Amino acid sequence: MNFVGVTSCTIGIAHTYMAREKLLQAAKELGMNGFVETQGSGGVENKLTEENIRNADAVIIAADVAIADKDRFKGKPVISVDTNMAIQKPKSLLKTVEKKLKAAGKLN
């Protein structure tokens, strides 16, 4: 599965970056490809490209606040969770997303 994600927390420091790292680590361990943008106190980092988004099977938003530029994901399955889910159960989250995509016929 290929996914893109955006992480953002209330203060924009710790959980934003922890969620990104946990998602990417879990993706690597599961043989998935992911690109994750952070929207933290320092602004947007690791900004997703149009190509990243186009090639993604799904979008995972792990945020405790509203994110900027959500409209760029139009037409993609979007899964929204809080940062704690991405930090504490990243593998479970990714497996659930993959399972839902397969059930919907959107992933082989």
Q: What is the pLDDT of residue 13?
A: 85
Q: Please, which residues bridge with residue 37 across strands?
A: 6
Q: Output the average pLDDT for the chain.
A: 97
Q: What is the pLDDT of residue 12?
A: 82
- Active site residue ranges: 9
Structure pTM? 0.96
pLDDT above 90 (res 33): yes
Q: How many CB atoms lie within 10 A of CB 68?
A: 12
* Dist. CA 31–CA 46, nearest whole Å: 21
* Dist. CA 4–CA 52, nearest whole Å: 7
Q: Domain coordinates of the chain in residue numbers?
A: 2-103
Binning pLDDT at 50, 70 and 90, where does residue 1 land? very high
Share of the chain above pLDDT 70, in %: 99
Place of tokens 């043989």: 31
CATH assignment of 2-103?
A: 3.40.50.2300
Using CA atoms, how far residue 70 sits from 4, 93, 101, in Å, is 12, 20, 20
